[in-house]
Amino acid sequence: MTGVAPILIVDDHPLVAVALTTALREQGLDVERIDPAADGSLDAGLARARSGLVVLDLDLGRDATGAGIDGAELVAAIRSRGWTVLLLTGSVDRQRVAGAVAAGALGWLPKNLPFEEIVDTVSGAAHGRQVFDAQRRDALVAEHHAARSARSDLDRRWARLTPREREVLDCLVEGKRVADVARQFVVAEGTVRTQVRSILAKLEVRSQLEAVALARLVR
């Protein structure tokens, strides 16, 4: 069909991928299903044309080595080849979705949407129609950047801790008291209290509970 982008369905779930491929082909669209675990299959698909639409899941199973394949990590590379990316995912991790959109995906569809709505949206995107609200997309990108900034600030504070202070904090995370920590490291309780005060100051928090909460975020 002239003026309509080719479509690659990149999804390791055959039920979804096959059903969507079939429905779109019935509309006369040029659609190919890509097995994300097959070496070179995505590159070969992208090489078919200078541009097109990739319908991409975020959870793509495992590669030959057993490592998980994260669709979010593929977005920038796909976009650099001139293709548009539309997320179709069952992931409920908003930060992963936000990260993929910030990397260049034009928008996202939850897999639990009515199937007809998914087909219509993918078809619309292939025809070059605007299928997502730009304001909503921009808000998600802004949320991603805010989360990255917060994480960078947390990493900055965490880096201030000495190895021993991190060990002490690990003990607090496990629910140990100052006396327990002192016995474990064979030091005076006063020494541990001094270390705890240093931990709070470096992490810029007011209580051990806040320090423990931050430590759990870092983990």
H and E: helices and strands count for the chain: 10, 7
For residues 101 and 168, state if they share a domain: no
The tokens for 172 are 């607090």
Dump pLDDT digits (tens) for 136-158: 888 888 988 888 888 899 999 99
Q: What is the CATH number of the domain that holds 169?
A: 1.10.10.10
Domain C-terminal end among 115, 133, 151: 133
Dump pLDDT digits (tens) for 105-142: 999 999 999 999 999 999 999 998 888 888 888 888 89
For residues 72 and 166, state if they share a domain: no
Domain range enclosing 60: 7-133
Domain C-terminal end among 98, 118, 133: 133
For residues 11 and 94, state if they share a domain: yes
Strands 53-56 and 59-62, bridge-based pairing: unpaired
Residue 190 located in a structural domain: yes
Average of pLDDT values for 168-186?
A: 95
The tokens for 28 are 């006369």
Instruction: Name the strands in the sheet holding 107-110, side by side, starting at the edge strand that comes first in the sequence.
Output: 31-34, 7-10, 53-56, 84-89, 107-110
For residues 105 and 35, state if they share a domain: yes
CB crowding 26-50: b at 16 or more within 10 Å, else e: eeebbbbbbebeeeebbeebbeeee
Domain count for the chain: 2
For residues 99 and 38, state if they share a domain: yes
Q: How confident is the model at residue 3 (pLDDT cuts 50, 70, 90)?
A: low
